[in-house]
Amino acid sequence: MEDSMDNKMPLLGDSFPEITVQTTHGKVNIPGDFSGKWFLLFSHPADFTPVCTTEFVSFQRHFEDFKSLGCELIGLSVDQVFSHIKWIEWIKEKLDTEIEFPIIADTGEVASRLGLIHPAKGSNTVRAVFIVDPHGVNRAIVYYPPEIGRNVEELLRVVKALQTSDKHGVATPANWPNNELFQDDVIVPPATDVETAQQRLKDAQSGHHECVDWWLCHKKVK
């Protein structure tokens, strides 16, 4: 890996740090090689471990779903590239699943810089996820403990929700697009002044959106 290290853990809204990494697909510059695209970088504790194997199969099974959203996948663990290669060969042979996305081979430098080393697990990384937008900005960060496998469908939902929010200037409710109150509707940002609050209710009367009250309005988007 190149670049000087400040070991500052990336936060939401920060630019993803510029790093050059060795992967199973060769050297990759992050986020430069993903410029103009969304990407999801996820770390796993180690190759040849049960939960991680199930996660990789799940990420691969949803690979085309992420691609359809313009979102690339990239994995990471503190393992040599030879270990990654043998592991994905094993997954293909034993589980009939060919891993198509790159996996970063890390000595611990990248994981340390991103704040991924589990404090109680030696050099093992936590199950972290960074969802980064086309401008290289961290839009979602999720950490899981080693014993809990990730819900890949939820991560796919987060990418869809972020893209919907960006495109339409809206928020998404709990469990969107299957919200218990509003189904697949999105939330109109709440008014921040009296005039806008009054206008929201008028707009609801004209069918532009629906409002439970001036601060809770929702609508459909395409």
- Is it true that the peptide bond before 10 is cis, omega within 30 degrees of 0? no
Q: Give Cβ neighbours of residue 55 (< 8 Å, ≥ 6 apart).
A: 42, 44, 127, 149, 150, 152
Nearest-angstrom CA–CA distance, 203 and 188: 11
User: Distance between CA 41 and CA 141 in Å, rounded?
Assistant: 10
Tell me the C-alpha distance between 72 and 14, whole Å.
19
Report which DSSP code applies to 215. Answer: T
Q: How far apart are CA 97 and CA 112, in angstroms?
A: 30
The one catalytic residue in 52, 71, 211, 217 is: 52
| Closest by Cα among 54, 59, 109, 104 to 77 | 104
Could you identify the residue written with the tokens 């050059």? 20
Token readout for 14 is: 């920060």
52 is an active site residue: yes
Separation CA 17–CA 113 (nearest Å) = 9
- Residue 219's contacts (CB-CB under 8 Å, 6 or more residues apart) are 170, 185, 186, 188, 208, 209, 210
Which residue bears the tokens 């359809």? 68
Hey, which residues are catalytic here?
52
